[in-house]
Amino acid sequence: MSITYKDAQGMEGMRVAGRLASEVLDYLTPFVKPGITTNEIDRLAHDYMTQVQGTIPATLGYQPSGYAAYPKSLCTSVNHQVCHGIPNDKALKKGDIVNIDVTVIKDGWHGDTSRMYLVGDVSIAAKRLCSITYDAMWQGIMRVKPGVRLGDIGFAIQTFTEKQGFSVVREFCGHGIGLKFHEEPQVLHYGRPGTLEELKPGMTFTIEPMINAGKRDIKDGPEKDGWSIVTRDHSLSAQWEHTVLVTETGYEVLTLSSGSPPIPAFVPALPGTSVRPAAVQSTADSAA
């Protein structure tokens, strides 16, 4: 499979899908509190996507080769779950952290994003893990521009993360995205500078580092559902995800909305401008 480069129509379709995916997370935010089950979160999201947005939940029934069909409209990964947690009837409790990962389809285009949520008061260590993981994602995003190689992005994420005393999961990565949920290229969150594919305008892909508080080793979850992945040492894990577009001069974050967390202060202005990436939000909001 080769990399697809989006034309103006494709970029616009990706902007709309990306914004809508982020707006699902905006909608869910006030509901994520102690006592709610992840099944209830899934139901809320499914109804919002299908009845309010007119989008299709990309994960529902998604079945890559070798996997059972995914049964829910989003993924919820709690505490030491690394990714692909399937919503269930267990209630979230005070002190939990949970990643909610949403992908919507609008007019054939996929928008993919995830956020970490703190359930009530959580430990200082859990807050720090979530914060560092968010910053690690942005360390990767801010490197995106034509001529950069994917290894540069992975190297930036890995070095930043390991300096904080955390580890980067190796077995899962970001991916190209567009009319297909998963396209080329694979976007590793570790690596060596100057290696792998060169970035070119029109590429769209996710950056979604999974960061563990302990060692990077993972294993299948105890549910044996074929999807859920957990840390081998039972340490906490966190993940954030944005979908980005490579532009002629840098990047555009496609999965920003009014409720998105603030962009870190260390992220510089977009190349060739005095505008920080927060302005991308208004670009996306104008797409309807």
Q: Rounded CA gap, 65 and 286, in Å?
A: 37
- For residues 115-136, one letter each, b for 16 or more C-beta atoms within 10 angstroms of the residue's C-beta and e for the rest, the string is bbbbbeebeeebebbbebbbbb
pTM score: 0.93
Each residue's pLDDT expressed in tens, for the chain with a length of 288 residues: 599 999 999 999 999 999 999 999 999 999 999 999 999 999 999 999 999 999 999 999 999 998 999 999 999 999 999 999 999 999 999 999 999 999 999 999 999 999 999 999 999 999 999 999 999 999 999 999 999 999 999 999 999 999 999 999 999 999 999 999 999 999 999 999 999 999 999 999 999 999 999 999 999 999 889 999 999 999 999 999 999 999 999 999 999 999 999 999 999 875 544 445 543 332 222 222
The answer to whether the beta carbons of residues 115 and 76 sit under 8 Å apart is no
Q: Rounded CA gap, 221 and 210, in Å?
A: 16
CATH topology of domain 8-285: Creatine Amidinohydrolase (3.90.230)
Q: Tokens 């103006």 appear where?
A: 8
